[in-house]
Amino acid sequence: MVADARTFSTTAAEITIIDRVSSLMLVVNGTSCAEDASPARDANALGMNVGDTAPDFTLASADGTPVTLHDFRGKSNVVLIFYPKDQTPGCTAQLCTARDDAGAYAAAGAAVFGVNGDDAASHARFIAKHGLTMPLLIDRGLAVAKAYDAVIGIGPLKIVNRTVVGIDRDGTVVFYRRGTPATADILAALPA
């Protein structure tokens, strides 16, 4: 039976495998989950690049509130943290770092969102267990992750490729990096 990414359910062992596969694919592509040596994507590379207009979207958060990117235009910078799976070690570390740095993001006028394909119940458990302060958005079909070039695949299985995107108040991508870049690097790219 071929698993459809929209209906894929996981066990604890499969979650670990997904997190490791995501990490491995990042290493194979010349990056690591801990950092990416390049501050911006190559302008000649396919997909999303610094300087591109950020694709608009509307996604529901874990509490059902719709979040629309264009609602932030002219008001605040936005940071999107695309991550593979709730409750996995790498994703937990990444989002807990964003939680711990919430004051720095707020001081920079940035709204921060986690994005992946997990459902509202999974996001709610993840938020409660780790005291996450940023909304987690539900991208069940991974359409938004695809628009931001943040999806990798292994055969029919598609998962989010750990990617951080910084968007300025004008809707322009000012930061784009795979892995888990330092908060200081993300904030340095966002205009005041």
DSSP letter, residue 49 = -
Is 96 considered catalytic here? no
Which residue in the block uniquely carries the two structure tokens 């690049």?
49
Q: E strands along the chain, which residues?
A: 58-61, 66-68, 77-82, 110-116, 136-138, 151-154, 157-160, 163-167, 173-178
Residues in a beta bridge with 80: 113, 165
d(CA 20, CA 32): 11
Q: E strands along 46-104, which residues?
A: 58-61, 66-68, 77-82
Q: Which of 50, 91, 127, 160 is catalytic?
A: 91
Residues annotated as catalytic (active site), given as ranges:
91
